[in-house]
Structure 1
Amino acid sequence: MNELQHETSPYLLQHANNPIHWKAWSDHSLATAKNENKLIIVSIGYSACHWCHVMEHESFEDETVAQVMNSDFISIKVDREERPDVDAVYMKAVQLMTKQGGWPLNVVCLPDGRPVWGGTYFKKDNWMDTLQQLQTLYSENPEKMVDYAEKLHQGIQLLGLVEKNPTEEKIDPNNIKALVEKWSKSFDWEFGGYARAPKFMMPNNYLFLQRYGYQSKSKDLLDFVDLTLTRMAYGGLFDTVDGGFSRYSVDMRWHVPHFEKMLYDNGQLISLYSEAYKRTQNPLYKEVIEKTLTFIERELLNSDNAFYSALDADSINEIGELEEGAFYVWKKEELQKLLKDDFEIFSELFNVTDFGFWEHDNYVLIQSQTVENIASQFGLTENDLLKKKKNWERLLFTERKKRPKPRLDDKSLTSWNTIMLKGYTDAYKALGNEHYLAVAEKNAAFIIQKQWTADGFLWHSYKNGKSTIPGFLEDYAFVIDAFIGLYQVTFEEKYLMQAKQLTDYCLEHFYDETQQFFAFTARTEKQLIASHFETEDNVIPASNSVMANNLYTLSLLYHNPFYEKIALQMLHHMIPHMDYASAYSNWMNLWLNQSEDNKELAICGKAALESLKKINFEYLPNVIIAGTTKPSDLPFLANRFDEENLLFYICQNKNCLLPNTSLEATVSGLKIS
């Protein structure tokens, strides 16, 4: 019997009508495998995963496949977004076995959960043949399978553990230079990003490279960041009609994406484009921010002030079949009919040409020239063409609304929600739009009221008014980060106190004193076959790197040497492993905080918020800001409030200059000259 109809995960519900006797991941499912002495199939994916849908259609909807799986196996379906802990452990297994990973992720395990075989996507016949061979081996020679599982299990337990740095060497930010120079050899100087396909956006990489380029006065690095951000905004990866970014590009040009739109990508990219806009005042970056947040509110924000997780890559095409990208692509004849006399200019701007052609007579809109260049070719002013562009996009948006929408993943994840919350906060800082701050605060209220329990722990997932699955380290890390950010734009100390409260909870429930890192799962929760310590930054920064940055910021504001010790100890252990810098960019951000450029700013006085808004328009990645409009007990602000005067304190290395009363002088003192 397929049990997935009892679940709330959109991904699991997609499989609820399969003939497979799927179970969800639970103690009961695992106990059933032990009691019946059956091998376990763990099949992991997510709702917006295209190849997960393909394997479902080819294999999991097939009766002959179902006969094989149902007769000899306990089959467990896992939503990797709901259970990132399960995904991480079995991904390690597959990477050890095959040297690669991805989704769908399919693993066969002993009845105790230890894996013996695995891979990603499989064609139907290959899948059936392999399962039958594994069942035969388990029936006839189980000792051989158990022996292999034991060796693989040992590898899984070791994989991801960080070897401690035995040296007493001081953390020197000057050593970052060699890592960035090596890193830069992989840059694509034609289209930005890295010189390979598929192309993932990796927002944290560019937040760091932008900051390092600014602090090291490297025009080349800043030019590369701007090239990348411009090309991503031009490409099919960014939906110029409706806003929002797809997950990654399958080609070198950011042209044809895997069309799913993920909340975590868009939240991080809003933060990145907001920081870049503060540095450059580039109107393209502002357009990206505004369009994307409009998309988020239209499609992914619900009545609980929570954000949904994703839109699927697939949607129903004109012949009634699910097809990747069907909602987003255009045929030339369709565009000619819609745009009439403007088609020629539109075609030049958005490459309804060989450059923009994809497949099956479909085009994915992509810019390759500036609006200014195209305008001059057609004897228009830049402003005239921008007006046309806006009208065209409105026209296409209206036309596209007639198409069936991509499927929605309507669960809300705490970690992803607060990544988006931080995006809204950063957009507010860059653009000063009060609405963005209001959305951020309402989402924070959702987290506090729905996802934070009276017992002190966070829930991971929320849907239909119900909170489920105890939170993982990523949930705590990103909530803390977002609440620190909210404090820094509102000076509401409740957010900072809540960030500290959650930090202390993590130290008590997640921190492993032996490893000197935070485990991904709280020690009070049922443990999997191996512990997971997430340390490498990926499309989302590692939860340990986020926690280390959080601890460092809080150590300065609360004058807490223990927080600082833990943060820098983690960084110290990571530095010898940073051979491939792009996997450690958030750690390198903390490393850069140790430079002589880094400062703290206290703004104290009744008019502190007015000055804060002006300071937030500046690009100051090397400055940690705090402030108050009334007397404060926060150690960093204690005894600094003045009833009569607005005072600015610039501090460095735990020493502060005498306060000044000039906003202009303060900004000048914070900037890197």
Structure 2
Amino acid sequence: MTHKFTNDLIHETSPYLLQHAHNPVNWEAWKPEVLERAQKEDKLLIISIGYAACHWCHVMEHECFEDEEVAQTMNKNFINIKIDREERPDVDQIYMDAIQLMSGQGGWPLNIVALPNGKPFWGATYVPKDNWIKSLEQLTDLYKNERSRVEEYANSLSQGITAVNLVETQENASIYSLAQLDVAIRKWSQSFDTFLGGYKRAPKFMMPNNWEFLLHYATSIEPEMMEYVDTTLTRIAYGGIFDHVGGGFSRYAVDTKWHVPHFEKMLYDNGQLVSLYSKAYAVSRNDVYKEVVEKTIDFVIEELKDENGGFYSSLDADSLDENGHLEEGAYYVWKEEELKNILGDDFLLFKEYYNINSYGLWEEGNYVLIRDKSDIEIADELKVDVSYLKERMEKALALLKEERTKRKKPRLDDKILTSWNGLMLNGLVDAYRYLGNEQYLDLALENAKFIEENMMKEDYSLFRNHKNGKSNINAFLEDYATLIEAFLNLYQVTFEDKWLDHAKNLLGYSQKHFLDETSKMFYFTSDEDQSLIRRSIETNDNVISASNSIMAKNLLKFHKLFPNEGYGDLAKEMLQNVQEDFERSAQGYANWLHLVLYEQQNFHEIAIVGEDYKKMGREIAKKYLPNSILVGSKKEGKLDLLQNRYNEGETLIYVCIEGACKLPVNSSKAVFEQLKN
């Protein structure tokens, strides 16, 4: 196919950047030499940030960046830089903070106009064509006629960008108490939607770290909290945000009942939700949770798995409808007549089960499948056997899945990101641990091997990105933190020293190249990378937990295995630095809150030594024990916890706290009894 225009993005690997390679805009990728040229030519920068699955990014591309009149304005007066936020979260963080300081809100596409040195002075998200041209012309005139004023504002804004990211050290503060935690959670709970789950607002985002902490809190402090966790997880599983036909979760729901999603499917959501639902299944043995895990992993294998074991990033929200137009959700929605024709005699059952009625109607005659009752409730209402109902629904969904293969699939973002693969690897480990399916361990080991061979260098530095057989971009703290966590958890279900060694070496590299010795927090970028305006320190838990909160949890667990290396002291200092914000915004620090429970309650090291160490490990690992770490070996292991523990002909289990152990026992039942006391 011949194209009228081709710009410099044609040399990139990011699917998002390649989508813009034939725009008439002279786009370039974010590179030091582009910034140097901007300063040499004294040209303003347009920095436009988005990602492949972003609906409004596509809309603005079509309305503005594919338009020759717009391109003429942009090319004449600006150097134009396109950024995939998933490849370069470091740059995205800076400019997202900038637009939030300027306007109080943010989102994607994120469009910034900056001085030639990269300092921003104007920003907006989606802008229609006429407004975009008008804004750019005004900004060009402003820079030409009132340059000193523009530079003064940009410098002031840059100081603000630096200030909002400062972390004050709190070395002498006491660790947050359980009483303080109770106050913070009571305040947090005022926003809980106890009927529909999640929070009392729309849109509704799935926040896996929020509910994973509350699961931990419910099982260790407040059993009544489990009702809210169950309500939330069940409603999400019933909702249209979960793809009942093909498995997997969309990004968020636009309404209060988890019904109509923003249809993009991201690897990071699905990896974290596999972990969450696996742990919730271990606690509740709720078959709905087990089914969610199984169908989500099936989706990931089917749609996001690379043949070499890595996992792709996302599926777009948009796909081609029957008229060949890109439309959000076209791949996933159903018309009533269509369902009748496909399902035949089963339609009436299906209609009740998935609400092909006013409750399940979206718009323009399109239905998004949603449940609102359990199998038992529906079977009672319809006077049918539960097993019969489930069998008919499984058959119906299989027919719909087959029918859906005739539709045009959403576009795939097939770049492989280290941190998102770390989250998915963690999900697979948890699914194996709590559901016991060996296939999940095989998938986890295949993915870990892919990361080991393609993303990890000999010095334990990491690449961020992999595409078309090539790895590039130096990794960020979130890549190290998530991978350390995943490798540590993989060790706990395999007892293969290699994964523990990898995790420890990655931690050592992180301390050397990311740690700020003053604040005792970790920078988001390595000291080997060029910084822009500031080196960010990420502390707020968002849809993905903050890289510093993941790292602090890693450090505390490594302290349990290597108590003389200072890991525990560093984890405590990090916790002390952020804990004053817990009462103000507990949900924004949910992953950090695990550390309060680790520090204020007993945390157990469980060491297994003997012939049956793997079998015993599997039995113990099936139980949800968040305040514990599991180690094991056939004979003497190299960890201190495994030294002088071997007794020939026996498999002994030692339950310890900070290396001080109770008398050894030889069954998982006895271990669980010791953990109660």
Fold shared per TM-score above 0.5: yes
The aligned counterpart of 2:64 is: 59
The aligned counterpart of 1:396 is: 400
Counterparts of residues 26-105 of structure 1 (less than 5 Å): 26-105=31-110
The sequence identity of aligned pairs, in percent, is 51
- Structure 1: where are the runs of 5+ without partners? none
Contact 1:646 1:661 in 2 (8 A): yes
Q: CA deviation at 1:36?
A: 1.1
Distance 1:669 1:507 in 2: 36
1:621 aligns with 2:626: yes
Contact 1:269 1:423 in 2 (8 A): yes
Partner SS state of residue 671, structure 2? helix
Q: CA deviation at 1:440?
A: 0.5
Q: CA deviation at 1:7?
A: 0.5
- One-letter amino acid of the counterpart of residue 508, structure 2: D
CA deviation string 1:271-323 (max 9, x = no partner): 00000000011110111011110110111111111000000000000100100
- One-letter amino acid of the counterpart of residue 198, structure 1: P
The aligned counterpart of 1:581 is: 586
Distance 2:564 2:492 in 1: 18
Question: Could you say if the C-alpha distance between residues 495 and 38 of structure 1 is closer, same or farther in structure 2, counting changes exceeding 3 Å?
Answer: same
The aligned counterpart of 2:236 is: 232
CA deviation string 1:36-68 (max 9, x = no partner): 111000000000000111111111111111111
Distance 2:426 2:398 in 1: 28
- One-letter amino acid of the counterpart of residue 84, structure 2: D
Distance 1:61 1:354 in 2: 39
CA deviation string 1:529-571 (max 9, x = no partner): 2111011000000000011000110111112351111111000
CA deviation string 1:309-344 (max 9, x = no partner): 000000000100100000000011101111122212
Contact 1:44 1:87 in 2 (8 A): yes
1:416 aligns with 2:438: no
The aligned counterpart of 2:21 is: 16
- One-letter amino acid of the counterpart of residue 522, structure 2: F
Question: Could you say if the C-alpha distance between residues 50 and 640 of structure 1 is closer, same or farther in structure 2, counting changes exceeding 3 Å?
Answer: same
Partner SS state of residue 353, structure 1? coil
Compute the TM-score of the two structures, normalised by the length of structure 1: 0.98
Distance 1:499 1:15 in 2: 38
- One-letter amino acid of the counterpart of residue 466, structure 1: K
- One-letter amino acid of the counterpart of residue 215, structure 1: S
The aligned counterpart of 1:280 is: 284
- One-letter amino acid of the counterpart of residue 511, structure 1: L
4+ residue runs over 6 A deviation: none
The aligned counterpart of 1:154 is: 159
The aligned counterpart of 2:518 is: 514
Distance 2:565 2:309 in 1: 36
Aligned equivalent of 1:552, options 551, 556, 559: 556
The aligned counterpart of 1:320 is: 324
- One-letter amino acid of the counterpart of residue 231, structure 2: L
1:432 aligns with 2:436: yes
CA deviation string 1:181-237 (max 9, x = no partner): 111110001110011111110101111001101111322x10100001000000010
Contact 2:608 2:651 in 1 (8 A): yes
- One-letter amino acid of the counterpart of residue 352, structure 1: I
The aligned counterpart of 2:362 is: 358
Counterparts of residues 182-581 of structure 1 (less than 5 Å): 182-219=187-224, 221-578=225-582, 579-581=584-586
Compute the TM-score of the two structures, normalised by the length of structure 2: 0.98
The aligned counterpart of 2:3 is: none
Q: CA deviation at 1:162?
A: 1.8
Distance 2:286 2:602 in 1: 25
Distance 1:623 1:166 in 2: 26
Partner SS state of residue 670, structure 2? helix
Contact 1:554 1:560 in 2 (8 A): no
Aligned equivalent of 1:106, options 108, 111, 133: 111
CA RMSD, Structure 1 to Structure 2 (Å): 1.2
Aligned equivalent of 2:9, options 4, 8, 33: 4
The aligned counterpart of 2:177 is: 172
Partner SS state of residue 467, structure 1? strand
- Structure 2: where are the runs of 5+ without partners? 1-5
Distance 1:671 1:536 in 2: 33
Contact 1:108 1:118 in 2 (8 A): yes
Q: CA deviation at 1:461?
A: 0.1
Q: CA deviation at 1:671?
A: 4.6
Distance 1:312 1:642 in 2: 56
The aligned counterpart of 1:140 is: 145
Aligned equivalent of 1:644, options 649, 655, 662: 649
Distance 1:561 1:308 in 2: 36
Partner SS state of residue 464, structure 2? strand
Distance 1:596 1:510 in 2: 30
Which piece of structure 1 moves more, 631-640 or 562-571? 631-640
Contact 1:461 1:469 in 2 (8 A): yes
Count of residues paired in the alignment: 671
Aligned equivalent of 2:121, options 90, 98, 116: 116
Contact 1:451 1:460 in 2 (8 A): yes
- One-letter amino acid of the counterpart of residue 54, structure 2: C
1:632 aligns with 2:632: no
Contact 2:175 2:575 in 1 (8 A): no
Q: CA deviation at 1:171?
A: 4.0
Distance 1:671 1:381 in 2: 40
Contact 1:620 1:671 in 2 (8 A): no
CA deviation string 1:103-129 (max 9, x = no partner): 111100000000001121111111111
